[in-house]
Amino acid sequence: MKKSTRARRMSRHYSRMHRAGGLNLVSLMDIFTILVFFLMVNSSDVKVMENTAAVPLPKSTADRQARESLMIQVTGSAILVQGREVARLADIAADDEAIAGLAEELAYRRARHAGIPEEGLEVTVMAGRDTNYRLLRKVMQTCVDGDYRQVRLAVESRPREADNG
């Protein structure tokens, strides 16, 4: 027996609406890609400063976490900026106010900034606990002279002792 036009249309509509649904993999892959990038960007809240065995940091009960800034490292024989040697300690004269190699590197890096904030640029000095104070003061003065006025000293964190009071 022949089906009417209405019956054929209804069967087509019924079969189309009651078919097993398919899985759209393109949208699913997009969602997972966005999720992976989000987790990669936001995965780490802990700031770990690169420390070498050549620089034994002083211990402190500092409460603030380290911030990303220009890193100056004072080792036993040289001064490094972001891991690049800029001055040898043997070449630094005792009477000089500023360290020439460090001043040149800071000037180069300052020139790469679009604008200098009123409070100055940030720098972190990583020096060992046995570093000569005069040398450390000379490094900090060179930083201040080069518009790096927010000078921070890197320390190794230790837990606070309980109050005995």
For the stretch 73-120, pLDDT in tens is 888 888 999 888 998 988 887 767 788 889 999 999 889 888 888 888
DSSP string, 74-106: E-SSEEEETTEEEEEGGG--TT-SS-HHHHHHH
Helix (H, G, I), strand (E, B) or coil at 123: strand
Question: Which residues, in sequence order, are CB contacts of 113 under 8 Å at separation 6+?
Answer: 121
Taking 50 as the pLDDT cut, the residues of the chain under it are 165
**pLDDT score of 104:** 92
Distance between CA atoms of 146 and 153, rounded to whole angstroms?
17
Q: Which residue shows structure tokens 């050549």?
A: 54
First vs last Cα of the chain: how many Å apart?
A: 101
| Among candidate residues 106, 157, 126, 122, the one with its CA nearest the CA of residue 50 | 126
**pLDDT score of 165:** 47
Q: How many CA atoms lie within 13 A of 129 on its CB side?
A: 8
In this prediction the pTM is 0.61
